[in-house]
Amino acid sequence: MHFSKLLLTSLATLAVAQPVHHLHQKRDPAQVMVTQRYTKVVTAGAGAETPAAQQQQQQNNNNNDAAQNKQAQQQSTTMATSVAPASSSSAAASSSAPSSASSGSSDSGSSSGSSDPSGSGITYSPYSSNGGCKSANEVKSDVSKLSEYSVIRIYGVDCDQVKNVYNALGDNQKVMLGIFEVGNLENDLKTMKDGVNGNWDKVHSVSIGNELVNGGQAKPSEVKDMVSKGKSTLKGFGYNGPVVATDTFIATINNPELCDVGDYIAINAHAYFDGNVEASGAGKWVKEQINRVKDTCGGDKKIYVTESGWPSKGDTNGKAVPSPENLKTAVKSIKNEVGDQVCLFSAFNDMWKSPGYLNVEQYWGILSD
């Protein structure tokens, strides 16, 4: 068969058979837009190192010079859709929720940590509607509204967010810290250490990167190296708790090497992007994806969903309809099914983002009106 015809046939087969999944973006750069197009030859039915087909629009500001960008730290926006195998209607193995929240504290300046990541969580970003940094008092006010959640996940180290969120935590709360831009890993980890003032007692875990494989930004082997380097650096800073790399459930299924990368398996899973799930079935769907990952990875390593939610506004995606009522319905369903295995996405609407894929990126806020 002619090469071009084979390529088109393979991609068409995948597109028909598989629904779209999406990578949440972080922060919109102020100035530079870079569009990258990727062409990948895919053989239908064969395994793939990364999700089989992607339509990706990326913005990356890591190398902008100061003349173009005078902000102290620019964040990148990555918008990606990756073709994902259709969710299974059932899973062979049932997931078992971890029995207790991650605990373990030690003398100030060190942490013994645990690889049991369980805890009802929620994600939080400390940015105002125009993309600026919220003040320490604003962050404190926001975090005070999240008292029902035992884990608060943040994504980066800019805007003094590590310090501000850490200082705002309640007595029974921990923070899942993150490095979003992995190009300056060691310095950002030092910023993280300074943010907690060397006291890791309230740190749930640390994530190196977010959806790097799903977004086509790194291979699983590269992610493994980043996590290994990050863990070594953090150990030197007195942190001995869990270190992971978060990626989508489908990237993990398609790349089983990711199962071995972190101290637990961290996956993002949004039923809305499946297109075949109504809001009332979101929790069951998330549980099915946990079971699929469990089947893929085997072993007894814990699985924690680091993002799952539903938009309140945007375009309908098959059976998935964004609305405030459906957001509430989906969140209730997720809590009922996998409440202590998930970080809900997200605390508040993110108006600093662009509308993004299906015009939903700004509207995942659980506490927003």
For the annotated catalytic residues, the residue numbers are: 307
Nearest CA to 189 among 235, 138, 144?
235
**22 with 214: CB under 8 angstroms?**
no
Q: Which residues sit opposite 22 in a β-bridge?
A: 81
Q: Which CA distances in Å does 4 have to 10, 13, 39, 53? A: 10, 14, 12, 16
Cα dihedral value 122, 124, 129, 132, nearest 10: 180
Residue matched to tokens 């369980």: 118
Element (H, E) at 300: none
d(CA 332, CA 328): 6
d(CA 338, CA 268): 13
Q: Which CA distances in Å does 105 have to 143, 152, 174, 200? A: 22, 18, 11, 8
Question: Which one-letter amino acid corresponds to residue 153?
Answer: R
Question: SS3 for 125?
Answer: coil
Determine phi and psi for 70, rounding to 5 degrees: -100, 5
Residue matched to tokens 């990364």: 50
Instruction: Supply 35's token pair.
Output: 């569009």
Using CB atoms within 10 A of its CB, is residue 204 exposed (0-12), middle (13-18) or buried (19+)? buried
Q: CA torsion sign, 152 to 154 to 159 to 162?
A: positive
